[in-house]
A and B are shown apart, each in its own frame.
Chain A
Amino acid sequence: DIQMTQSPSTLSASVGDRVTITCRASQSIRSSLAWYQQKSGKAPKLLIYKASTLESGVPSRFSGSGSGTEFTLTISSLQPDDLATYYCQQYYSYSRTFGQGTKVEIK
């Protein structure tokens, strides 16, 4: 299976800060990457697919970039509603795999 590694595991930032989360794949996955947001007690929600395409209805402060083995999710101006855990997921291989998650806390 393709291993997905996220960093950091936890980050704490202030409202208005720019936040960046990194996801690395154990082999090239081209642009076959999605990002999800999961709030406490809820199901994950799709934010971005094809590494950089914003899902309909997702605020424009979220953006994604990268290809190959290294990807980033950026929140341009952190809002209180962004308190959540964020996951990357590769779909290059049919055995879909997720990163371990990055918990975003508000200072």
Chain B
Amino acid sequence: EVYLMESGGGSVQPGGSRRLSCAASGFTFSNYEMNWVRQTPGKGLEWVANISSSGDNTHYGDSVKGRFSISRDNAKTSLFLQMNSLRGDDTGVYYCASGRENGAYFHLWGQGTVVTVSS
């Protein structure tokens, strides 16, 4: 079965850190660029970060640049998002998504994991 499954969400205080994971199964993970996309009450759907199939290249949205870091382990078919200096407007549902055509659009999504930033 083809799926992506996120984990690691939860409650965190402002200024804190959290690491999200995404386990992939049923497809050749190392062939695909991977992304994190979040859905927040304030901005709706927002692309967060992208990583190339090899892991050599990464890109970030302006709102998370310098605070978040995306990485992957192709041997373990896993994707990660390290989130630091968290703010209230980072609250939302975080999805991992695989991208076709060099990560352009998102053809497979996980079920999402909820991150709540609050004191």
Contacts and interface: CB of A to CB of B under 8 A. Distances in A.
Contacts, number: 52
Nearest to B100: A49
B97 to A, nearest CB: 8
B112 interface: yes
A54 interface: no
A98 B111 contact: no
Contacts of A1: 62
Contact of A46 (B35, B45, B50, B105): B105
A1 B62 CA distance: 9
Given A49-B105, A91-B104, A98 B45 contact: yes
Contact of A91 (B44, B45, B105, B112): B105
Interface string A94-107: 11111011000000
A2 B35 CA distance: 19
Most buried by A among B35, B107, B110: B107
Q: How large is the interface on B (under 10, 10 to 19, 20 to 34, 35 or more residues)?
A: 20 to 34
Interface residues of A, number: 21
B107 A97 contact: no
Contacts of B105: 34, 46, 49, 89, 91, 96
A43 B47 contact: no
Interface string B93-115: 00100001100111101111000
Interface of A: 1, 32, 34, 36, 42-46, 49, 55, 87, 89, 91, 94-98, 100-101
Interface of B: 35, 44-47, 50, 59, 61-62, 95, 100-101, 104-107, 109-112
